[in-house]
Structure 1
Amino acid sequence: MSQQQQQHQQQKVVVSKDQLDDIKSIFDAIDSDKKGHINVSDIGEALSKAGVRIATYQIRDTIEKTRSIESNDFVDFETFKSLYALIRTENDIGSTFRSTISAPKDLDNYGGMSPTSTEGTTHTVKKEEQVAFTNWINRNLGSDPDCSTYLPLNPQTRDLYIKCSDGVILCKLINKSAPATIDERAINIPNSTSKLNIYQVHENLTLALNSARVIGCHLVNIGPEDIETGKPHLVLGLLWQIIRIGLLSEINLHDHPDLITLYQSEDMDPLAGFQQQTPEQVLLKWVNYHLERSGTDKRVANFSSDVSDSVAYIYLLKRIAPESAGLTLAPLKEEDVHKRAELTLKQADLIGCRSFVTAEDIVQGNQKLNMAFVANLFNMYSAIEEINGGEFAMNGGEVVERILYNETREEKSYRNWMNSLGVTPYVNYLYGDLTDGLVIFQIYDIIKPGCVQWFRVKKVFHPRRKVMEKIENCNYVVKLGRTRGFSLVGIDGKDLYDGNQTLTLAVVWQLMRAYALTILTQLSSSDQPIREQEIIAWVNDTLTKSGKTSQIHGFNDSNISNSGAILDLIEVLKPGSVNYDVIKKGSSEQDKLDRASYAITTARKIGACVYALPEDVVEVKPKMLMMVFACLMQVYLQQTK
C-alpha cells in the first residue's frame, strides 16, 4: 500500500466518541500493568470485547496493510485504535448500513455476536437500564477493595459489559443481593501485576452463573462465553435478576412483621392475604398505605402510568422521610411533569434514595426501574406502624407466631431450585404457591417431557369451583408422582392444597431428587436409571483411583462434616482448583463451616450447581449431601462425555 493510499484509508477511518470510550476501557483492562501497550497476541481478545469478531488471519492482514507494527511487537493505544477503526471500516459495511436506520430513542441495537447470527440478528437494549444498573453497582460495590480497579464504571459507555466480563463484579454483586452465597476466597482476583488468564475468567464466570441459579435466577441460553464477550442483552438480563432478588429479599414478614398491618382490614386471615401476593403487589399496597395516611385520594395500581406524574412519589417521600430531612410537598406546584419528576428525585436524594430512575424514566413509566426505585425506598424507610399485639393475638397468639416464622434452609433451597428452572409463577412462598399444582406440573414436564396430560390440568379456576378444581389438580400431582416411583404413602391432593408443610416437602424433595438422577442417567447414556448407591460407589472409586484416602459410607456418614471428601473430589475432577492454603485445619464447628463454605463455592466454580448450604454439610443432611455428590458426578460425566 502506498503512502498516499494509507493516508486516504486513515481519512476514511472514523471512531465515534462512544466507540473511543469503549475501546479505551478495553485497552486499559488488558493493559493491567499500566505500561501503555498490549501484546500483538492480545489484539484478537481486545477486538472481541469491542464487539468485532474476525479471524486471526484477518488481523494479520490488517497489520500488514498498516505496516505500523512488526511481528512480536507491542501495540500502543493509538495503533490499536487505528486497527480497530480500519477493521470496522472493512468488515462492518452491513452494520454501517443498519446504523443509518434510526432506532427508537434510548434503545441500542446490538448485532448478534456469533458468526451465524451477525447477519440480520439484533438485540435491543434499553440504555436507561444500562445506566441504572451501572450506577447501582458503583454505589454498592464502590467501597470493596477488590473492585477498586474496576470502578467507577462509566454508565454512558460499554464499560459495564467490559468490566463484568471476568466475573469478579458479578460474584460481588451476588453476595450483595444474597450475602454469603459465594465464599470470596474462591474468586480469582486480578492483581496489579497480572490479569486473569482465560481459565481463571471461565472459572469466575462459571461460579457467578451457578451462584445466580442457586439464589433463584432463571438463566436461559447463557454461558460464560456470553458474559466474557459482553453480550449486552444477556448481561443486563442477568444483572436485573440478581438486583431484583436483592431488592425484594426483605419484603417478608420475618424481616418486616409490621407488613401484616397492611392486611388487617381484609376479610380473610391477614397472613393468607399477604402470602397470596407477590412482593411487587405488596409494594403497591405499601405505597397506597402511605398515600391513604397522607390524606390524598391518589392511589396506584402499577409502577408505570400511575406514577408517571410523580404525585404518588411526592406524597410517599414526604410521609416516610425523617422530619429532619426537610422534605416537602412543594414539587406538586410544578406543572411540567419532567421538571416535577426532577424535583421529586432531588427530594429522594435528601434521604439517600435517588436510585435506578431518572426523571425521564418516571415520566415514561418504566415499570422495571420504577419498581426498583420503590423497593429501595421500602428497604430504607418502610415507616409502617407497629403491630397492635391485641389485634393479632387471636387463636392464642398463633397468628403472630406464624407471622414471625422464618423460611428454613431446606425450604429456601427448594424454592430457589424451582425458580431457577423458570417455573411460572415465581415461587415466593413454598407452601402457598404450590397449592394449585401448576408449578409442580411444570417440573414434572421438565423431568420427563410429555408425562403431564395437560388437558387434565385446570389452569384457570372458576370463582365458585376453584377449591375443588385446585384439589383435583393436586390429586393428579400425587398420581403422577406415584407413576414416577415417588414414595407418597399417606399423601393426597388435599394435603398439598392445604399447604401441609411436612407432606409438601416430601413431594418437593422427591421432585428435586428425580431431576438430579434423570440428568445423571441421561449423561451416563445408561439404559438403567442412576441410583444413590451408584453415586456413592462412583465417589469412592474416583477418590481411590486418584490416591485419595477419604471415603464416604453413605450420605449420612458423619465424616462428611469435615468436607474432606468433597474437597478431595473437587481436586480430582479439576486439579489445582482447591487452594488448600486458605482452608482452616481445625475441628471446631466454625472451622467446619469455614471449610464447607469454601468447598461448596469451589464446587460451583468447577461447574457443579450445588444448592446446599455449608450448614447442610456440617450437620450431615443426607438429602442435600446426596445432591452435592450428584452434582459433582454430573461434572465428571460432562467431562468424559
Structure 2
Amino acid sequence: DILQEPQKERDLDNNTGTIVWDGSYILSKFIHKSLYIRGYNCIELGAGCGLVSIVCKIKGAKIIATDMKEAVELTNKNIENNLQNLNIENYGTNNCEIQTRSLEWGSELDLEKFPKFDFIFGSEILYLKQTHSHLLKTIKHLSHPNTKIFILYYPRGLGEEFFIKKAKAQGFTINEFEIDDPEFVASIRKYRFIEMEFKGVTSSYSFLMSSSELQKLTKRNPSLKPWDIEDIISKFNSLDLDSNGGLDQRDLVKAVDKIQPGVNYDDIRGALKDIEVSRPGVVELDEFVEVSTGYFIFFLIASIKSSNGSSLKAPAVIEGIQTDRSLKRRTIITSKQNISSAHTINEDEKEEFTNHINYVLGSDNDIGHRFPIEPTTMQIFDECRDGLILSKLINYSVPDTIDERVLNRGRKLSPFQITENNNVVVNSAKAIGCSVVNIGSQDLAEGREHLILGLIWQIIKIGLFSNIDIKLHPELYRLLEDGESLDDFLRLPADAILLRWFNYHLKAAGWHRKVSNFSGDIKDSENYLVLLSQLVPEKCNRQALSEPDLHQRAELMLMNADAIGCRRYLSHKTVVNGNPKLNLAFVALLFNTYPCLQALEEDDDHAELDEFLFKDQYDRESRAFALWLNSLNVHPFVNYLFEDIKDGRVLLQAFDKIFPSTIINRRVNSQDNLSRFKQIENTNYAVELGKQRNFSLVGIQGADITDGNPVLVLAIVWQLMRANIIQTLQSLSAGGREVTDAYMIQWANETANKHHPRFSGASIRSFSDSNLKSGLFLLDVLEGLKPGIVDPSLVAKSPNEESYKLNSKYAISISRKLGATIFLLPEDIVEIKPKMILTFIGSLMAI
C-alpha cells in the first residue's frame, strides 16, 4: 500500500520522490527474485516513495532509505504504513532494520554520518547530468571493496552515458545488462541495469574513448591526431584534480600558464565559458576533451611537443579563427560579450576593489596564499565563488559579523560546502545592511560578475561609512547649516554628510570653490589638493595647483595622499575620469583617518544632540528593525530608524509588502520633503492599518511616530516585523495553522530534544527564559534541526559572559549557514531580549 503525491503526470521536475516510477517496480522485483540480501547492510539512494527499501526489508536486509530532506517524509509514511504488513519470518532472521534518513549527494557533512554498505540500490537517479559527480562521490564513500551496486535507469538521452564514462574513469567496474520479463514487455526492454563495484583504481580516460569518438574530435580539430588527443587526456589526468575528477578553473588557468607562459587569464576564462560544463567553474575530463574551440588543446599539445624536442605550429584554422592575434581578440570579445549581454561592469572599479581586497586580506591566515589577485583580470570573480573572500571582507568591514569557525575552508570544497559558505555571505551581508534582493548563493558560486562586484562595493561602502555616525563623532554637529535642525541633518545619507565635511574644510582653508558631487567637481584635483593641505598641512601642500596637465596634477595629489597613508581607491586616471564610487571611497577614507573636526565644548548649546544621543539605549533594537525594513527593499534606505520613518513612507511600504493590496494609494503622500502635516497624515494611516491588523497600539498616534518617540516607534515596527514572521510560518505550516508564541516555544523545545546528548539539558517556557542566556539551548535547536551542524569542540561550557557570547555568536553564524536571515546580535541572546530571540526562532522555523 504505497502512498503517492503526484503533481503532474510523469513530470521529472515535479514528481521526483512523489510517485512510484516503473523503474522502482522493476528494481524491486529484481531484488525480490534474484538477490540474496538477508542480514546484509543495504542503502537505497533516491528512495522516493520507498518501495525498493520496503522490499529489501521483506527480504531480511538491514536497509536505510535515503532521499532529499523534503522527500524523506513521504518515504517514512510509506514505511510506517506498511510495517504491519511486512512478514520476514519466512526468511529465517529477525535481525533486519529499516530506517529513513536524508542524504544530500556529495555533502561531506551528510556522508560522514553513514557507514559502508554491502549493497547500494538506485532506480531512476541518472537523469540529471549535473548530479553525476556528486552521486559518484556518494557511492564511493558508501562502498567497501566488495560492495555491490545496482542502478536501474531509462535511457532518456539526458546524459546517462556520461555517468558510465565517469564511473569507469574513477575506478568502478561496470557491467550493463537488460532483463527480459514478460510482465513488463512494454517497458522492461527499454530499461537497463548497471551492476558496479568500486576497487579504488582510477582508469585512464583514453581507454574509454572509442575510435569513433577520437575521429569526431580529430575532425573538429584538423591539426590534431588521435594520439595527440590521447596525450591531452594523459596530461589532463596528471593535473591537480578534485575528488570527482574535475579541475578547478583557477587551477586550470595556472596549468595553462605553466604550459604557455603569458597567456591572458581572461582569454582562458573566456574560452572556459564556451564549454558546456556540469559544474560551474570546473572542467571535467570528458568536457575538456570535447572542447570545440581547441584553445586549451592547442596549448597542451604545444607543451607536450616542446618537451619532446619538437615544435608545433599554430593550427591554420581553429573554429574559423585565422591567426594568433585573431584568437586572442576573439576570446577577449567573447568574455566581454558574456558580461555585457545583460549587464556591464566598470573596469576601474573592479581593479580598485580588487586592490582593496588584496590590501586588507593579503595576510589572512586562511586565504592569504591566494593573494595578490591580479586586478587587471577577471580573477577576482572566480576567487569569490567559494564564499571565503566575501566572508572575510564582511568581517573586515563590520568586525565579528561572522563566526569564522562555521566556514568551510580548504582548496577543494564540495559544491555543498560552497553553498553553505555563500549562505553565510548572503545572510550576513543582509544583516549588515546590504541589499541582496536579487543575489543568491548560487549566483556567487557561478561567479556572476555584476552581482559580485555590486556586493563587494556594498560591503566596502558599509565599512567606510560605519564611522560617519554622530554617535561616534558628536563633532559632526558642527556641520549643521544655519537654521537646520538635527533631525534634518540626520536624514542626510552618508555621502551627503561627506560632502558637507569636504566643504567645511574647504571653507576653513579660505578656498573659493565648493563640491556638490564626487565626479565633475573634483576631476581637476584642485579641491583635493586644498583639502589634503588643510587636513595635514605639515605633509601636504598645494604646489600641484600650478601643474597644467590634469593627469600629472592628479598624480601629484595622490603622492600627497600617499604621504599620509591614504593612497587607495584612486589612480590619476579615475580622478580625471571622475568615477563617483571611487572618489566617494577615497573621501570616506580621508574622513575616517583625519576627520579634523574640533570637539564640542561643554558649555555649547546642543540640547537636541544630547536628546538624540540619549536614545542610544534603544540602539540595538532600532538597528535590527532598520536592517529588517531595508531587507524589504524599502525606499529611502533606513539609516536611523527614529528619524527615517518619521514621514510614514517607509512604514506604509512595509505594510504594503507584508499585506499586499491593503494600501489605498490616494491616501499616501509619497513625495520627498513632506510638510509635518503630510507626514502625520501618513503616520496616522500607518497606525490605522496596524489597528486593522489587531496590533497593540493603544495610545499611539501618528504624531508620536513623526516626533520620533523611541518606545512607540519600536512598538509599531516590532509588531510589523512579528506579523511578517508569523505570516511566513503560517504559509509553511500544514493547513495554514495559526502560529503563536506558545507554538514556537513548543517547536523549539521539541527540536532541541532531538539532539542527544544535549548541550544544555534544559527547556524554555518563554522567550525571556533564563536558560536562553548561555546560547546552549539555541545550539541544541540547531543540532536538532540538522544533526552534525554544531561542532561540540567549539561549544563553550564555562558559566561566564565570554562563553555565553561565543556560543551566541556561533549559533547566529550557523543559522546563516543554514540559510536563515538573522538580524539579532550575540548580546541580544546573552541579555535575553525576548523580541529578538523570537525573530531568531522564527527564522529557524522558516528554513
TM-score w.r.t. the length of structure 2 is 0.63
Alignment of 1:339-418 (within 5 A): 339-392=552-605, 399-400=609-610, 402-403=612-613, 406=616, 408-418=619-629
Match of 2:709 among 462, 475, 500: 500
Match for residue 678 of structure 2?
Answer: 469
Alignment of 1:121-520 (within 5 A): 121-190=341-410, 195-263=412-480, 265-269=481-485, 271-321=486-536, 323=538, 325=539, 327-392=540-605, 399-400=609-610, 402-403=612-613, 406=616, 408-460=619-671, 466-520=675-729
Q: CA deviation at 1:41?
A: 4.2
> 2:769: which partner in 1?
557
Amino acid at match of 1:274: F
The AA in structure 2 aligned to 1:60 is D
Provide the rounded CA distance (Å) in 2 between the counterparts of 1:596 and 1:111: 43
CA distance in structure 2 between the partners assigned to 1:374 and 1:169 by the alignment: 25
Report the Cα distance in structure 2 between the residues aligned to 1:462 and 1:565, rounded to whole angstroms: 47
The Cα of 1:40 is off from its aligned counterpart by: 9.2
Deviation at 1:61, TM superposition (A): 6.5
1:573 CA drift (Å): 2.0
User: What is the aligned counterpart of 2:739 among 530, 544, 548?
Assistant: 530
- What is the total number of aligned residue pairs between the two structures? 577
Contact 1:444 1:511 in 2 (8 A): yes
Q: Residues 437 and 631 of structure 2 are in contact (CA less than 8 Å); yes or no, is this contact kept in structure 1?
A: no
Measured after TM superposition, the shift of residue 123 of structure 1 is 1.8
Structure 2 residue matching 1:195: 3-state secondary structure: coil
User: Is it true that 1:54 corresponds to 2:293 in the alignment?
Assistant: no
1:110: Cα distance to partner?
5.1
Aligned-partner Cα distance in 2 for 1:77–1:218: 47
Q: Of the candidates 536, 539, 544, which is equivalent to residue 748 of structure 2?
A: 539
The answer to which structure has the higher helix fraction is 1
Match of 2:160 in 1: none
Closer/same/farther in 2, CA of residues 363 and 166 from structure 1, 3 Å limit: same
Question: Do the aligned residues in 1 keep the contact of 2:773 with 2:830 (CA within 8 Å)?
Answer: yes
In 2, Cα distance between equivalents of 1:298 and 1:201? 51
Match of 1:619 in 2: 831
- Classify the secondary structure of the residue corresponding to 1:313: helix
Q: Deviations over 1:290-327 (max 9, x none)?
A: 1011111110111111111111111011111252x2x1
Instruction: Please tell me whether the aligned partners of residues 481 and 488 of structure 1 are also in contact (alpha carbons under 8 angstroms).
Output: yes
Pick closer, same or farther for the CA change 1:473–1:331 going to 2, 3 Å: same
Equivalent residue letter for 1:139: Y
454-463 or 128-137, which deviates more? 454-463
1:173, 1:111 → 2: CA distance? 27
Counterparts in 2 of 1:63 and 1:291: CA distance versus 1, 3 Å: same
**What's the offset of the Cα at 1:520?**
1.3
Once the two structures are superposed, the pairs formed by residues 564-579 of structure 1 within 5 Å of their partners are 564-579=776-791
CA contact (8 A) 1:320 1:383 kept: yes
Aligned to 1:146, the other structure's residue is in SS state coil
Report which structure shows greater RCO (CA 8 Å, sep ≥6). Answer: 1
Look up the SS of the partner of 2:344 in the other structure. Answer: strand
Inter-CA distance 91–252: structure 2 relative to 1 (3 Å threshold): farther
Q: Quote how far apart the aligned CAs of 1:368 are.
A: 1.3
Determine if the alignment matches structure 1 residue 38 to structure 2 residue 255.
no
Q: CA deviation at 1:524?
A: 2.3
Distance across 2 between alignment mates of 1:256 and 1:462:
26
Deviation by residue 1:365-408 (Cα, 9 ceiling, x = unmatched): 21111111111110011111222333335x5xx64463576462
Which whole-Å CA distance do the structure 2 matches of 1:503 and 1:125 have between them? 44
In structure 2, C-alpha distance between the alignment counterparts of 1:462 and 1:347, rounded to whole Å: 40
What CA distance in whole angstroms lies between the structure 2 residues aligned with 1:322 and 1:220?
45
Q: SS of the residue aligned with 1:609?
A: coil
Does the Cα contact within 8 Å between 1:38 and 1:76 map onto a contact in 2?
no
Q: What pairs with 1:582-601 in structure 2 (closer than 5 Å)?
A: 582-601=794-813
SS in 1 for 2:735: coil
1:561 and 1:620 in contact (8 A); partners too? yes
Deviation at 1:552, TM superposition (A): 2.0
Going from structure 1 to structure 2, the CA distance change for 1:401 and 1:473 (only over 3 Å counts) comes to closer
Structure 2 residue identity aligned to 1:479: E
By how many angstroms is 1:150 displaced? Answer: 1.9
SS of alignment partner, residue 491 of structure 1: coil
Using a 3 Å threshold, how does the CA distance of structure 1 residues 353 and 92 change in structure 2: closer, same or farther?
Answer: farther
- Check conservation: 1:108, 1:127, Cα contact below 8 A: no
Q: Distance in 1 between matches of 2:407 and 2:788?
A: 14
SS state at 2:548 partner: coil
- Could you tell me the TM-score, scaled by structure 1's length? 0.83
**Structure 2: which amino acid aligns with 1:598?**
Y
Change over 3 Å in CA distance of 1:54–1:399 after alignment to 2: closer
CA offsets 1:43-81 (integer angstroms, 9 cap, x no match): 475389853451559962652789x9xxxxxx99969xx
Change (3 A) 1:256 1:76: farther
- Over the matched positions of the two proteins, sequence identity in percent amounts to 38
Given that 1:303 and 1:367 are in contact with CA atoms closer than 8 Å, whether structure 2 keeps it comes out as yes
1:596 to partner: Cα distance: 1.0
Asked whether 1:63 is paired with 2:272, we answer no
Task: Mark the structure with the bigger radius of gyration.
Answer: 2
- Following TM superposition, by how much is the alpha carbon of 1:158 offset from its aligned partner in structure 2, in angstroms? 1.9
Contact 2:245 2:284 in 1 (8 A): no
Partner letter of residue 214 of structure 1? A
> Structure 1 residues 91, 237: CA separation in 2 closer, same or farther (over 3 Å shift)?
farther
Looking at structure 1, the residues matched to 776 and 673 of structure 2 have their Cα atoms a distance apart, in angstroms, of: 55
Paired position in structure 2 for 1:115: none
Name the counterpart of 2:146: none
Q: Post-superposition shift, 1:600?
A: 1.1
